Structure 1
Amino acid sequence: MLVLRLKYSRNIWINMERDKSQGIRMRSKVAAALAITVTILGISAYAIREARKPAPIVDYAPNERGGETTIVIPNGASGDQIALILFNAGVVKSARAFFAAATRNEKSKGIQPGTYAIETRIPGSEAVTQLLERKRRLMVLLIREGERSYEISEELLRLDFSTTEIKRIFNQSIEVPGFGKRDAEGFLFPATYNLLPGEGIDSVKNRLLEKFQSVAQELDLESRAESLGFSPYQILILASIVQAEGFSESDFKRIAQVIYNRLELGMPLQMDSTILYALKERRIAVSSKDLQLSSEYNTYRRKGLPPTPIGNPGKSAIEATLNPEVGDWLYFVTTEPTITKFTKSYDEFLKFKREFKANLRAGRFDGEQ
């Protein structure tokens, strides 16, 4: 009985020792695993802290600046949009350089939409400063092809020129080299003009005239007009009608030929655009009452050309007038937007007019002028 108890006791002891040994090994493994976990967590925390640190801002140094460029900040542009505009224009080295500088500068909230003359390759803080300088902000005068002088005067009023200044240009004859004293209409060449703050009305007028003369010389207006049997001023009048009546360059060339054909046959031009000019209106069509208008611009009642251009034609309309497409057309009708049909036949002309009226009733011309 005693032997059995000893044997039993020894087995228990052996099992206990084995369990103790396994427990030590298990605790070692757990401790090692915990140590590895802590290390990994430590590395992860460090990596997260490093990742959260902002990357260094790439910026130009003050001595890296380049020449000037022109940028446009549209209405409603956000800070990051302005930053991207500046970056794409080569003003700042990175969008973040400007955005960070603007965030630090409370005055940056005063940056306005508009066109600016600004230096390139400058620090973000300098870009903020320059956008806040009034002298950097350009006034933009946009003259569209075919725009009339009174419409341009309204644009100049919007740019804070006085009524008195504007009248001095538009209500009096101006001296145009090669043309003598003329009404300003026709010589205010369509283009986009960046005006400097404080620039006077006379300077603006001279820039418009210089642009016109540059294009006139490029097109050899004087000699080509003479070869057609017209004066340069008459070509300008014709081109203004072509501009007002047409939608495309191909239309321009054909409309010019229609005018030449009618003049040659002694027919009245019968152009709606000349009547609408006298009425100071822009519409798709004229009424029977309009046709009775007593005006030297009524080319239904008066033969020949109106006394002045009826707008300010662009280069393509002037070129088309100097180089019309050969054809025997006497009539044309814009039957639907961008589609103009030409014919020599009066009956076909009446058919085109019916098409136009049907499309007008159907609303095809809604929004057109």
Structure 2
Amino acid sequence: MSDNQGHDWGRQGGGNAAPAWIEPEGGTPLHLRQERERARQRRRRRGMVLFLVVLLIVGAGVAWLVKAFLDGRAAEPTPDYTGSGTNDVVVRVNEGDAGADIAQSLLDSDVIKSVAAFMGAAHGRNELSAIQPGYYKVRAQVPAAAAVDMLTDPERRVGAFTIPEGRQLDDIVSTTGAVTPGIYTLAAEASCVELDGEQSCHEADDFRRAVANGSLEELGVPEWAREGVSAAEDPDRRIEGLIAAGRWDIDPSGTPMEIINEMLARSARMYDSTGIEQTSQSIGVTPYEALVIASLLERESQPEDFAKVARVILNRLDIGMMLQFDSTVNYALDSVEIGTTDADRARVTPWNTYAKLGLPQTPISSPSVQALQATENPEDGDWIYFVTIDLEGTTVFTSTFEEHQRQVDIASQNGVFSSGR
């Protein structure tokens, strides 16, 4: 018993137990396993360092390639033309165009070779920011700097003209022989442009024919005016009043029909901005009739009296009284003056309000937006009559014929009605 007991004790905790550095199952010694683990860690660290080194080398290489590419691009010259150009062209600067917009238009017209060249040439040129919308004669295929010079040269602007308030389509000839150019003449003169030494112009009659022969759609007549325009008896005057007074730019290379269409479309937008279709209803007339009234204001009164004259017209229409405006007599005459003769007033025309009740068949002039706004917002009053009593334009408004006649006598004494016939 004692031998077996001693053997058991010795195997469990005595001389026969395995050394601490040998695995119990007889595996790899602990110190070898620890050495191998340290070796693996060293290999991982070396691998990580190598990876980082490679990554840095690749990154540096990519950065070098990008820099080399950009340096190469920077070294390339900006595309630009040289020389004095090939031929004259007309380009347009639109309302609200920025420098890049202008550059793109020039590029599209082959005036410049690149937007970058133009923007570079325009840098620091303050006068370019003041360029007005409109049409300009320039040269095709010119250096960008030359294109900037051309656009800032006021002599190169073409197609620009002004239609004064109260101007008619046709010329007005006074009894003294003085001629006031009409819209057709003004547009014809503005259409003249010299390209490569050759002068090109439309004639006033070209515009008359376009108006007389074009459809309402081709002409660009707004919907609210088509009934009135269709009823007009004089074909080349049927768009009277539909071209607004103001500053105009037309494309000299456009056809007469294209030019008329653009002018009517822009005018319609101007008139629509006053709310003509809505506000005319509040005074009991159609939008076209409101335009007719506004045209009378331009020919019969000064701006400060527009709203009062509008009220006189509406009051007369309400009571069925003839308007009897000399301006409507003059509209059909070959020569005009402030005073008209008995024979002139007796002539029956589509416009003569001495010979017909109501409004003229069409407007008799180009009204301003101010005149149209006064028509839509007439001043309150019971006036039936008004007369200009002196050559300075002083106008007196009255409610009775007796009062009116006294003012007419004063006007006669002041020479307002003196005739040159």
TM over 0.5: yes
Alignment of 1:198-277 (within 5 A): 198-248=253-303, 250-277=304-331
**How far is 1:326 from its partner?**
0.6
Please, what TM-score do these two structures have when normalized by structure 1?
0.62
Residue matched to 1:157: 188
Find 2:127's aligned residue among 73, 82, 89. Answer: 89
Contact 1:149–1:170 (Cα < 8 Å) also in 2: no
Cα-to-partner distance string for 1:330-355 (whole Å, 9 max, x where unaligned):
11011122311100121221121122
Residue matched to 2:161: 141
- The separation in 1 between residues aligned to 2:270 and 2:147, in whole angstroms, is 39
Is it true that 1:303 corresponds to 2:357 in the alignment? yes
Cα-to-partner distance string for 1:146-201 (whole Å, 9 max, x where unaligned):
11112111223323213553123333465223132622111111121122341222
- The separation in 2 between residues aligned to 1:362 and 1:164, in whole angstroms, is 34
- Distance of aligned partners of 1:131 and 1:349 in 2 relative to their CA distance in 1, 3 Å threshold: same
- Distance of aligned partners of 1:362 and 1:186 in 2 relative to their CA distance in 1, 3 Å threshold: closer
Q: Secondary structure at the match of 1:297?
A: coil
- Distance of aligned partners of 1:149 and 1:191 in 2 relative to their CA distance in 1, 3 Å threshold: same
Q: Secondary structure at the match of 1:240?
A: helix
How many percent of aligned residue pairs carry the same amino acid? Answer: 29
Residue matched to 2:32: none
- Distance of aligned partners of 1:254 and 1:117 in 2 relative to their CA distance in 1, 3 Å threshold: farther
Which segment drifts farther, 201-210 or 269-278?
Answer: 201-210
- Distance of aligned partners of 1:90 and 1:130 in 2 relative to their CA distance in 1, 3 Å threshold: closer
Q: Secondary structure at the match of 2:366?
A: coil
Is it true that 1:330 corresponds to 2:379 in the alignment? no
Alignment of 1:106-185 (within 5 A): 116=136, 136-150=156-170, 151-158=182-189, 159=191, 160-163=201-204, 165-172=206-213, 174-175=215-216, 176-178=221-223, 179-180=225-226, 182=229, 183-185=238-240
Residue matched to 1:53: none
Alignment of 1:282-297 (within 5 A): 282-297=336-351
Cα-to-partner distance string for 1:26-58 (whole Å, 9 max, x where unaligned):
xxxxxxxxxxxxxxxxxxxxxxxxxxxxxxxxx
Residue matched to 2:55: none
- Distance of aligned partners of 1:91 and 1:299 in 2 relative to their CA distance in 1, 3 Å threshold: closer
Question: Where do 4+ consecutive residues of structure 1 move more than 3 Å?
Answer: 65-69, 87-92, 114-118, 122-134
Contact 1:173–1:184 (Cα < 8 Å) also in 2: no
Please, what TM-score do these two structures have when normalized by structure 2?
0.55
Counterpart code for 1:292: A
**How far is 1:361 from its partner?**
6.9
Residue matched to 2:415: 360
Find 2:246's aligned residue among 163, 180, 191. Answer: 191
Q: Secondary structure at the match of 1:235?
A: helix
Q: Secondary structure at the match of 2:395?
A: strand
Cα-to-partner distance string for 1:293-351 (whole Å, 9 max, x where unaligned):
22232211211111111111110111111110010001101112231110012122112
Alignment of 1:58-77 (within 5 A): 66=99
**How far is 1:117 from its partner?**
7.3
- Distance of aligned partners of 1:338 and 1:123 in 2 relative to their CA distance in 1, 3 Å threshold: farther
**How far is 1:124 from its partner?**
8.2
Counterpart code for 1:329: W
Contact 1:253–1:321 (Cα < 8 Å) also in 2: yes
Cα-to-partner distance string for 1:56-77 (whole Å, 9 max, x where unaligned):
xxxxxx99x95669xxxxxxxx
* Structure 1 residues without counterparts, runs of 5 or longer: 1-61, 70-86, 93-113
Cα-to-partner distance string for 1:188-243 (whole Å, 9 max, x where unaligned):
11121122341222232122112222122211111211222211111111111111
